[in-house]
Structure 1
Amino acid sequence: MRSFAEILDIAIARKGSREAVLAGAMAVKSAEEIAAIQDDRWLAQMARGIFQAGISWSVVEAKWPGIEEAFQGFTPARVAMIEGDALDALLSDPRVIRSGAKIVAIRDNGAELAANPGLGRRIADWPVSDFAGLLADLNARFSRLGGSTGAYMLRVMGKEGYILSRDVVARLQAEDVISGAATSAKAMKAIQTAFNRWKEESGLPLNQISRVLAQSIDAG
């Protein structure tokens, strides 16, 4: 496995400068800023990611104000009550993306947040040295937050972490961190160990390390 400095050099050779490599890396919020985010905003971001899966993100963005209205601001207790006539109404509401499976998943996530409030605090306190564990926790507790959906939600909300995009996975494979897909518990443990090492070497947040890995691969 190469050092982080070596991988950064590869990325700089491709992009021209360190600044160009890191351009676009999203900022990380403090633990207290993350803890202060209310559960309705976590549920809203979950819903955005769920709706974006498999369709154009621009479609979701254009419809988002109407989606917020239809889901009554994503207050978890209200969303948890979406069943029967309320569910039927959403399935015929032109403001939303009318996927029954996705709407039910958002309803179920609202129920989980209503029963166990304070997700911001839980995420804020979760150590970045076990980001893989946080992804696994979200996947276990919430519906349709597997794959990259949970990781994207955390990044948008300001939690330090990595996204296992195609290019990031390709670099991890090139460094023999993993040999196949980044899906098994064994692979995720190896990935976390590699990121922790690169973080210790570089002093950079996981967001930027992830960005460097992605930029070090020729997308071809």
Structure 2
Amino acid sequence: MRTFDDLYAISADRKGGAAALEALLNRPKPAADIAAIPEEDWLAAFSAAIFSTGLNWKVVENKWPGILEAFRGFDVNACSMMGDDWFDALMADTRIVRNGAKVQSVRDNAVFLKSLRDRGGAGKVFGEWPARDFIGLLTLMKSEGARIGGTTGQYALRRMGVDSFLLSRDVVGRLIAEGVIDKAPTSKKALTAVQGAFNTWMDQSGRSLTEISRVLAFSL
């Protein structure tokens, strides 16, 4: 496995130098800023990512004002109590992405977010989760949330500023090239290996998961 400096050099060369690469690197938000994000914004972020699965992002973006209205601003209390009548009305509502499983995920993820209130709220949980155990957060989201345990949830967390790696095609390709995994990681063993590699690169560089993930993505 190459050192972070070696991988950084590869990416910098591909992007026209270190300054150009640095301009492309996202940085995570401070934990305090993430903790202040209201839970309806988390539900909206998860739902936007879920609705976009298998679609062009622009489709959801163009529909978003109607989606926001149809789901009552993604109010967590309201969405967690979604009954059959509201569900049926949503499935007939042309403003939204009318996929039953995706619509149902809004209710399920609202229930998940409500469950985090006992731990200080979603923002606190996501913002303070240790970067060295990011796979633990993904496991929590997979077991207690709906359709957010994989890359869909990773995309949502990244958009919200959480320190995270994103197992995109390019990142997975680099991890395979470095001998960390041999295919897209789905098993606990493979994800543990991925976390271990990122932890090593964090130790070597002093950088965040988010920055390292971006460097890996630009290296192919």
Q: So what's the TM-score if we normalise by structure 1?
A: 0.94
Cα deviation for residue 97 of structure 1 reads 0.9
Does residue 122 of structure 2 align to residue 119 of structure 1? yes
* Secondary structure at the counterpart of residue 24 of structure 2: coil
Does residue 208 of structure 2 align to residue 205 of structure 1? yes
Does residue 165 of structure 2 align to residue 136 of structure 1? no
The residue aligned with 2:41 is: 41
The residue aligned with 2:67 is: 67
Q: 1:116 to 1:127 in 2, by over 3 A?
A: closer
The separation in 2 between residues aligned to 1:103 and 1:25, in whole angstroms, is: 33
Q: Is the CA contact 1:168–1:213 (under 8 Å) kept in the aligned structure 2?
A: yes
The residue aligned with 2:16 is: 16
The residue aligned with 1:86 is: 86
Deviations 1:16-57, CA, capped at 9 Å, x for gaps: 112333443333111111111111111111110110001110
* Secondary structure at the counterpart of residue 48 of structure 1: helix
The separation in 2 between residues aligned to 1:130 and 1:113, in whole angstroms, is: 20
* Aligned partner letter, 2:189: K
Write the mapping of 1:144-159 to structure 2, written as runs, cut at 5 A: 144-159=147-162
Q: Is the CA contact 1:22–1:208 (under 8 Å) kept in the aligned structure 2?
A: no
* Secondary structure at the counterpart of residue 109 of structure 2: helix
* Aligned partner letter, 1:34: I
* Secondary structure at the counterpart of residue 27 of structure 1: coil
Q: 1:14 to 1:207 in 2, by over 3 A?
A: same
Over the aligned positions, Cα root-mean-square deviation in angstroms equals: 1.2
* Secondary structure at the counterpart of residue 180 of structure 2: coil
Write the mapping of 1:158-169 to structure 2, written as runs, cut at 5 A: 158-169=161-172
The separation in 1 between residues aligned to 2:214 and 2:59, in whole angstroms, is: 26
Identity fraction in percent: 47
Count of aligned pairs = 217
The separation in 1 between residues aligned to 2:150 and 2:219, in whole angstroms, is: 22
**Structure 1 residue runs without a partner (length 5+):** none
* Secondary structure at the counterpart of residue 14 of structure 2: helix
Cα deviation for residue 99 of structure 1 reads 0.9
Q: Is the CA contact 2:27–2:208 (under 8 Å) kept in the aligned structure 1?
A: no
